[in-house]
Structure 1
């Protein structure tokens, strides 16, 4: 979860990161991250992903996932939670949040960004080569994963 610290977390961007390819999908949350808003935005975002990426979701201990069972029912995806105070259990996600600060510095009003802008930022991140997947971009790595899964 990527939050705007200046507005008491009224605006946010959810971050979904596929573990092995580091492929990023951003969840548009312009009006806040209350549980119903998070559930609905996650359901919409997950629906855009290839079936192979919809196996499970690991989240931190945030209250925004209070309706996780409703999300799981709607998407047929189980939700797992990290241990409290253990961000390293979602290291790829934490790293992605750091990369997002290049696009959205602290204090940015995240609600001012459209779904289309978030998609453009995700596309840029997904086309950037990274050291971890052997200097391939997440999009290249994902394409290989999807090709071998079919």
Structure 2
């Protein structure tokens, strides 16, 4: 069948704005007394697009006696609206809050989310005086947060996804994590800890024993002369007879650690207290992810390859204090120290 007349309109991209040439067509067809629907069909847009454009581009002619659409006025109105569209940057209006964020980042090494959440919880700034965490990250990308760059945010350039692998545990030091009460995973009860060792250089060097309470995220760091199992059990004996004397079993309900030989004697702690020791699956750091995450925080001040013995005990204590006074989103922007103090009071008065 021959068809010399094509009724198919020229394809028009959905959502595209009207051009000046299309506005001229609207002006011309209106003078020819055509309907909005026929004009829309010719341009290839919705009839409401034409109707709204006519409303925006109407002007008074002949001393205000006649109202007509003019393409030039419609185009100028469109360009004026385009200049004012889009979200405006609040970097200048909320400069006081951005100065607060820069100070916390540079002096206290807080995360951007900790800065936002803590300022909101403590009432230092009203919500209207602040920008959200996502906007703060965007400002860092755009260079609007002073000298702070993405490389200054450790987790932004460090995080990567890894698949979880569960391998058979050949070493049998004690109870497997599979025997641990599933309620521990819910983090509702206080007193369940994870522990690990942080090493310095590969040569003979001192090491750090790190412990993190799962519910409050409160951490303890103890400097050990070596990574022998005798040094590890001695450190726990010192905690039991010193800092937590008389309440060790109530504060340490369970301890989850890995299968390293340095923790082979840790199960002996069960004979000295009511604490239960559990060993994670081999090569499965996610079994004690809270501790691994905190080790990453400690590494900001104790980089790999540096000898632990070169750091005085005072420096280690400052790192521990920093971690315990860092506001956490998961704690409602409270600090681990505040939460730990509340749980300790409740445990000792129960």
Partner of residue 26 from structure 1, selected from 208, 213, 221: 221
Structure (1 or 2) with the larger CA radius of gyration: 2
* TM-score normalised by the chain length of structure 2: 0.40
Q: CA deviation at 1:8?
A: 4.2
SS at match of 2:221: strand
* Aligned-pair CA distance for 1:75: 4.1
2:306 and 2:270 map into 1 onto residues whose CA distance is 31
- CA 1:42–1:111 in structure 2 vs 1: closer, same or farther (change >3 Å)? farther
Q: Which residue of 1 aligns with 2:279?
A: 81
The structural deviation recorded for 1:131 is 1.7
Question: How many angstroms apart in 2 are the aligned matches of 1:9 and 1:136?
Answer: 39
Structure 1 residues 148 and 70: alpha-carbon distance in aligned structure 2, compared to 1, 3 A threshold: closer
Q: Partners in 2 of 1:8 and 1:74 — Cα distance? A: 33
Going from structure 1 to structure 2, the CA distance change for 1:73 and 1:115 (only over 3 Å counts) comes to farther
Alignment length (residue pairs)? 148
1:68 equivalent to 2:262? Answer no
Which residue among 195, 205, 219 is the counterpart of 1:10? Answer: 205
Shift of 1:147: 3.1
CA distance in 1, matches of 2:336, 2:296: 16
Aligned position for 2:311:
113
Gaps of 5+ in 2: 1-196
Deviations 1:19-65 (A, max 9, x none): 00000001211x21111111112222354246432211110111101
Partners in 1 of 2:308 and 2:236 — Cα distance? 17
CA distance 1:140–1:84, change in 2 (3 Å):
same
Query: In the alignment, which residue of structure 1 is the partner of 2:35?
Result: none
By relative contact order (CA 8 Å, sep 6+), the higher-ranking structure is: 1
- Match of 1:58? 256
Q: Structure 1-normalised TM-score?
A: 0.87
Contact kept in structure 1, 2:324 and 2:336, CA below 8 Å: yes
Tell me how far apart the structure 2 counterparts of residues 78 and 112 of structure 1 sit (CA, whole Å): 34
CA distance in 2: counterparts of 1:43 and 1:20, whole angstroms: 23
- Aligned partner of 1:41 in structure 2 is 235
Which residue of the partner structure matches residue 144 of structure 1?
A: 342
Identify the residue that residue 99 of structure 1 maps to in structure 2: 297
Segments of 4+ in structure 1 off by > 6 A? none
